[in-house]
């Protein structure tokens, strides 16, 4: 067969032949596509930095997603350890904003596979680099709630009272103090001593201390109140005796927690004279007046401190006793 005859045989009915070839290619691709599958992996992102004087102003993602597409048979043998991801910041020497590609690093077992697709999400990342700075900042306790009614926070101490914070200069320079985690004092009526940590810190910042000894003094809110014209009661006096002109009154001034003082009403007998030593009638010129206000109160002043009384026979009891005998 000469060249002319070969050419004529090839071009004879060429539309059908082209269509057959296209169909064969389509069927091949279709078969390949339908025998492939994909799988997603979350892999750690490794960062390479040579310039320790530059830091990112926002935290980098800890992981990226990598999609591997290949045959189901090959895919079944893959694991996260077969591929890694990284970005390289070592080439940057000055502060600024840069777009950096994320590189995938498949293992040798993946590289040797012919029909494989590897996609990274995201394929690149935009970062801003700034100069590293560090300063000492005061530690500021943060409270939640309030002390119990009648009590208040009067003093607080934290040690150490300063902390070294390091990170991007643009972030560090915005700080004035470093807050602690919330310290709950709701309903407290006693002092606090405990270990606290600093609160949520921007992830791009680091601290040289994390635990702090915190002490808070919570004390009673004191209030002073006074009452007068309170009856003085004579106790432990024999039934055969009585105090002549027994209508004696007095005055007291008390100090106590403001909540207790507000609720306090003096009961009968808050001022009293103990007459247990009196055995007979007579004049008793300096009987001590005592106060029974309760353990929650401090007596600042009371009057009178002594009392002159006259004790005589209790004729009422004597008459009542004679009537009962009759």
Is 247 found in the same domain as 140?
no
Same domain (yes/no): 312, 285: yes
Contact 307, 273 (CB under 8 A): yes
Same domain, 136 and 126: no
Instruction: Find the CATH number of the domain harbouring 205.
Output: 2.170.120.40
Domain ends where: 198, 220, 242? 220
| Mean per-residue pLDDT over the chain, rounded | 84
Cα of 170 vs its chain's centroid, Å: 27
Helix (H, G, I), strand (E, B) or coil at 16: helix
* Whether residue 228 sits in one domain with residue 191: no
Same domain assignment for residues 205 and 231: no
One pLDDT digit (tens) per residue for the chain, 326 residues: 554 554 455 455 556 555 656 655 554 454 454 456 777 878 888 888 877 789 999 999 888 888 877 776 666 667 677 788 889 988 888 999 999 998 888 776 666 666 777 788 888 899 999 999 999 999 999 999 999 999 999 999 999 999 999 999 999 999 999 999 999 999 999 999 999 999 989 999 999 988 999 999 999 999 999 999 999 999 999 989 999 876 899 999 999 999 999 999 998 899 999 999 999 999 999 999 999 998 889 999 999 999 999 999 987 655 454 444 44
- pTM value is 0.63
Whether 19 and 121 share a structural domain: yes
Strands 124-144 and 178-184: parallel
Helix (H, G, I), strand (E, B) or coil at 198: strand
Do residues 100 and 156 share a domain?
no
CATH at residue 297: 2.170.120.30
Kindly state whether residues 177 and 112 are assigned to the same domain. Answer: no
Residues 257 and 190 in one domain: no
**Domain housing 140:** 132-220
Could you read off the pLDDT of 126-152 as tens digits, one per residue? Answer: 999 999 999 999 999 999 999 999 999
| Cα separation, 227 vs 249, whole angstroms | 11
Q: What are the angstrom distances between the C-alpha of 235 and each of 241, 267, 275?
A: 12, 15, 6
Give how many domains the chain has, as a whole number. 3
Residues 7 and 120 placed together within one structural domain of the fold: yes
């Amino acid at each position: 067969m000469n060249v002319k005859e070969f050419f004529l045989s090839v071009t004879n009915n060429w539309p059908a032949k082209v269509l057959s070839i296209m169909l064969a290619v389509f069927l091949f691709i279709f078969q390949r596509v339908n025998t492939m599958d994909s799988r997603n992996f979350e892999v750690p992102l490794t960062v390479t930095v040579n310039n320790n004087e530059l830091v990112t102003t926002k935290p980098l993602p800890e992981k990226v997603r990598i999609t591997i597409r290949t045959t189901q048979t090959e895919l079944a043998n893959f694991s996260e350890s077969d591929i890694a991801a990284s970005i390289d910041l070592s080439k940057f020497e000055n502060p600024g904003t840069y777009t950096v590609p994320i590189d995938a690093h498949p293992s040798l077992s993946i590289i040797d596979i012919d029909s494989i697709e590897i996609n990274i999400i995201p394929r690149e990342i935009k970062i801003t680099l700034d100069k590293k700075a560090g300063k000492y900042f005061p530690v500021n306790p943060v409270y939640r709630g309030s002390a119990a009614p009648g009590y208040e926070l009067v003093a607080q101490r934290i040690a150490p009272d300063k902390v070294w914070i390091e990170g991007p200069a643009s972030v560090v320079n915005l700080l004035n103090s470093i807050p602690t985690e919330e310290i709950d004092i709701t309903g407290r009526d006693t002092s606090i001593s405990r270990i606290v940590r600093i609160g949520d810190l921007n992830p791009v910042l680091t601290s040289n201390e994390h635990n702090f000894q915190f002490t808070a003094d919570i004390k009673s809110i004191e209030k002073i109140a006074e009452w007068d014209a309170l009856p003085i009661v004579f106790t432990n006096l024999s039934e055969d005796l009585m105090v002549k002109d027994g209508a004696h009154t007095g005055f007291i001034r008390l100090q106590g927690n403001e909540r207790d003082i507000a609720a306090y009403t003096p009961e009968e007998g808050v001022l009293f004279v103990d007459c247990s030593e009196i055995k007979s009638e007579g004049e008793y010129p300096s009987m001590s007046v005592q106060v029974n206000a309760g353990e929650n109160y401090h007596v600042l002043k009371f009057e009178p401190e002594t009392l002159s009384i006259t004790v005589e026979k209790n004729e009422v009891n004597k008459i009542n006793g004679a009537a009962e005998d009759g």
